[in-house]
């Protein structure tokens, strides 16, 4: 072998090194011990989220408003096109 051939890695070589494994942090970095600034800390969220139940009325109102605007726009376009069609002759 002259060193230019590729080889497959063994399964044990694919494992993350000890210092990069998830759930573990190394005790120190090149710059010194790891520390997180107080402004960068994350406040944990509660696991249970409160789900709100959507009623048929709320869904209906959310759906009907865009359909009303679309219908009014199509009706207005029809009136405008009819106006120009009649006036053009």
Judge whether 62 lies within some domain: yes
Q: Give pLDDT, residue 64.
A: 96
Q: What is the pLDDT along the chain (89 residues), one digit of tens a residue?
A: 566 777 777 766 666 555 555 555 555 555 566 676 777 777 777 776 677 788 999 999 999 999 999 999 999 999 999 999 998 76
Q: Which domain holds residue 56?
A: 46-88
Q: Give pLDDT, residue 19.
A: 52
pTM above 0.85, yes or no: no
Q: Give pLDDT, residue 52.
A: 79
Judge whether 13 lies within some domain: no
What residues are paired with 33 via a beta bridge?
Answer: 28
Judge whether 32 lies within some domain: no
Domain tally, the chain = 1
Question: Up-side HSE of residue 64: CA atoms within 13 Å toward CB?
Answer: 6
- The H or E element spanning position 82 is helix 56-88
């Amino acid at each position: 072998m002259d060193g230019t051939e590729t080889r497959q890695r063994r399964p044990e070589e694919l494992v993350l090194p000890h210092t990069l494994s998830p759930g573990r942090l190394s005790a120190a970095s090149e710059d010194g011990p790891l520390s997180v600034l107080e402004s960068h800390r994350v406040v944990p969220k509660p696991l249970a989220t409160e789900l709100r139940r959507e009623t048929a009325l709320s869904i209906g109102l959310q759906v009907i408003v865009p359909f009303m605007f679309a219908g009014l726009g199509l009706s207005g376009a029809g009136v405008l096109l009819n106006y120009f069609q009649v006036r053009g002759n």
